[in-house]
Amino acid sequence: MSIELVNHQFKNSKLTNMARKRSLVILPKLKNCGGDLSKKWYVEYSCRDPQTNEMKRFRHYDGFAELNTVQEREAHAKKIISEIKLKLEKGNDPFSEKKVTYQDELIYQATVARWGNQRESVVNIRTYLSDFLLMKKAEVSHSTYQTYCSKLRIFCEWMELQGFADKHVRCICQDHVHKFFYHIAGENHTSRRTVLKYKQLLHTFFDFLMETKEVIAVNPVSNIPQLGEKRDEAARPIPDKDRKKLIAYMEEHDPQLLLVCQLEYYCAIRPNECRQLLIRDINLETATITVRQDISKNGLTETVNIPRQLYEYLGNTLQIGGYPEDWYLFSKDDVPGKHKLGKNTFRYRFNRIRDILGLSERYKLYSFKHTGGVKLVNAGVNTWELQRHFRHKSIDTTEKYVKRNFGVQSKLIRDDFPDM
């Protein structure tokens, strides 16, 4: 989007005062002192300083004093104005060469550990992304922050390859953003769901630039076409035959992973919640497990029942009562410990076992939770009980879950359909 268009949008705003306050650039104009050739003529324009967020005025006096007629000075001014506008459109403003020191949040952690992440640069897309990530670091979970870093790193590197490493972010327009989405959807074969996540994140980032930093006038993440491969990525319940194969293999080779699957199946505790359970969260006296607010997907502290099939293993086989309360249930060497396992550890282990057994890739670690849901529905458990068991915030969520996994079922149609 050109600077002229940005300025035009502001001039036509209903809130003129606010528009002027939020202007990024006031375009260059000739100040001719009423045509008096005895006074200093100059071209004046203003830009918003990205560091102070204040408008700063700039004046060009060069070349006017040597010209003795109004026509010569106006022609000279026209040339200067044209040159300034061209520079602004290309992202080269008076602050372009000004370097700032900042924390680069897009650097890989291994590099940060060795060299740190403090950098010096002109104000550009990377510095603003780092500011945005620093703000988000205080607002979201560590795993969500890491996801933001990964996606925004890809966006930043692509923009830098397009020549934006030394340009101001206001030069990024809708066309550039659209090209990025076509890139990730086409060349990388990204799923439609992932494209949507990129769209949401980038829209939030450019809102940050527009509303918090006030360095752009409009959000370029708009009118994004529906892109990406349409995939059915949902985990599927595992039929009895295949489930027995998985259980038998895990009993012999990975009993810790089997316990995760049991907690999913019997207690509807999600894999990432399992990973962060502490010994103190398990109460053998009341036969309950507390899923704390800080690890729960729905952000609520809730209690689930330990069924008899699982109780004996936790109390007698694993003997969790003999471990410190602040230790993690899942740690190294297949026993509770001080350190929790990595976010993707269980998923990698499950996928490896699934592939060894030659089972469908539609079976995921999460499938054990859905499989437990299938058994409960088939046993006649109603939707309200399912909602409490799965810890869904609303009954609507549970109904959608049931419809997605089981469809609309009718005992009358299934058992009493008239013969053909």
DSSP assignment string, 306-322: --HHHHHIIIIIS-GGG
Together in a domain, 68 and 120: no
CB 191 within 8 A of CB 233: yes
What are the beta bridge partners of residue 25?
Answer: 47
Residue 235 lies in a domain: no
**SS3 of residue 119 by DSSP:** strand
Q: How many domains does the chain have?
A: 3
pLDDT tens per residue, range 21-69: 456 678 888 888 888 888 888 888 887 766 566 777 888 888 888 888 8
Q: Give the separation between CA 81 and CA 32, rounded to whole angstroms.
A: 13
Q: Is 399 inside any structural domain?
A: yes
Please enumerate in sequence order all residues whose Cβ is within 8 A of that of 257, keeping only pairs 6 or more positions apart, or say none: 250, 346, 349, 350, 353
Q: Same domain, yes or no, for 247 and 300? A: yes
Strand segments (E) across 72-116 = 99-103
Residue 327 is assigned to a structural domain of this protein: yes
- Angle in degrees, CA 107, 112, 114, rounded to 5: 140
Q: Is residue 297 part of a domain?
A: yes
* Boundaries of domain holding 7: 3-89
pTM of the predicted protein model:
0.52
Let me know whether 108 and 80 are in one domain: no
402/327 same-domain check: yes
For 205-298, strand residue ranges (E) read 282-283, 288-291
Identify which of 334, 333, 336, 315 has the alpha carbon closest to the alpha carbon of residue 325. 336
For the record, the structure tokens of 64 come out as 């006017």
| Helix/strand/coil for 386 | helix
User: Residue 374's CB: how many other CB atoms inside 10 A?
Assistant: 16
* Residue that finishes a domain, picked among 59, 89, 119: 89
**Cβ atoms of residues 382 and 402 within 8 Å:** no
Question: Does position 16 have pLDDT exceeding 50, yes or no?
Answer: no
Residues 181 and 258 in one domain: no
pLDDT band, very low/low/confident/very high, at 94 (cuts 50, 70, 90) = low
Given a cut of 60, whether residue 95 has pLDDT beyond it is no
Contact predicate 291/301, CB 8 Å: yes
CB atoms within 10 A of CB 261: 25
Mean per-residue pLDDT for 179-208?
85
Query: Are the CB atoms for 27 and 85 separated by under 8 Å?
Result: yes
pLDDT of residue 146: 85
pLDDT at residue 121 is higher than 70: no
Say how many C-beta atoms besides its own lie within 10 A of residue 315's C-beta. 15
The Cα–Cα gap between 43 and 127 comes to 31
Query: Which of 36, 69, 89 marks a domain boundary?
Result: 89
Q: Is residue 162 part of a domain?
A: yes
122 and 271, same domain (yes or no) = no
CA dihedral 116, 117, 118, 120 (to 10 degrees): 130
CA 125 to CA 152: how far, in whole Å? 10
What is d(CA 272, CA 278) in angstroms, rounded to the nearest whole number? Answer: 13
User: In this model, does residue 12 exceed pLDDT 50?
Assistant: no
Residues 167 and 127 in one domain: yes
Q: Is the pLDDT of residue 162 over 90?
A: no
CA–CA dist 313, 123 (Å, integer): 58
Q: Average pLDDT in the 3-7 region?
A: 43
**What is the rounded CA–CA span in Å between residue 263 and residue 253?**
18
pLDDT at 165 over 50: yes
Q: CB–CB of 220/172 below 8 Å?
A: yes
Check if the beta carbon of residue 170 is closer than 8 Å to that of residue 212.
no
Residue 358 lies in a domain: yes
> Do the domain assignments include residue 14?
yes
**Are the beta carbons of 279 and 327 closer than 8 angstroms?**
yes
pLDDT at site 404: 65
Note whether 64 and 168 are same-domain residues. no
Taking the C-alpha atoms of residue 261 and residue 251, their distance in angstroms, rounded to an integer, is: 11
Which DSSP helix (H) or strand (E) runs through 27? strand 25-31
Please check whether residue 234 lies inside any domain of the structure.
no
Contact 295, 276 (CB under 8 A): yes
User: Are both 274 and 371 inside the same structural domain?
Assistant: yes
Residue 81 near residue 29 (C-beta atoms within 8 A): yes
